[in-house]
Amino acid sequence: VYPDGLALGDAILQHDTDQPLGTGFHVYRMPAGMKTRSHRHNGHEQFLILEGELIESDGTVFRAGDLVFYRDGTEHNSYTPNGCLLAVHIVGPEQPLE
């Protein structure tokens, strides 16, 4: 759920409990057909695709086993046709662009 209350059907298992939801280390599940909002990263983000497939706004396709690194300031959105599960570490909250 985004800070403005928009829910997309995603789920977060927060491991860094002293960090805001969706920052630090967490496991993130996206349901089939979900598209994230376009956003800018405030800090680096790294994620490992554990299950499924993720398609980035530039057309790059990531699959299970792919390790992805986005630098601070990166802008993008993601789509999953069949759902996916990610292990994520992100330094700070994302800034929506929409």
More confident of the two residues 17 and 1: 17
User: Can you give the residue ranges of every domain in the chain?
Assistant: 11-96
Q: What is the pLDDT of residue 3?
A: 55
- Any residues with CB less than 8 A from the CB of 38 and at least 6 apart, and which? 57, 75, 76, 77, 96, 97, 98
Domain spanning 11-96: CATH superfamily:
Jelly Rolls (2.60.120.10)
Task: Tell me which residue has tokens 């530039």.
Answer: 58
pLDDT digits (tens, 9 = 90+) for 34-93: 998 898 988 899 999 999 999 999 999 999 999 999 999 999 999 999 999 999 998 877
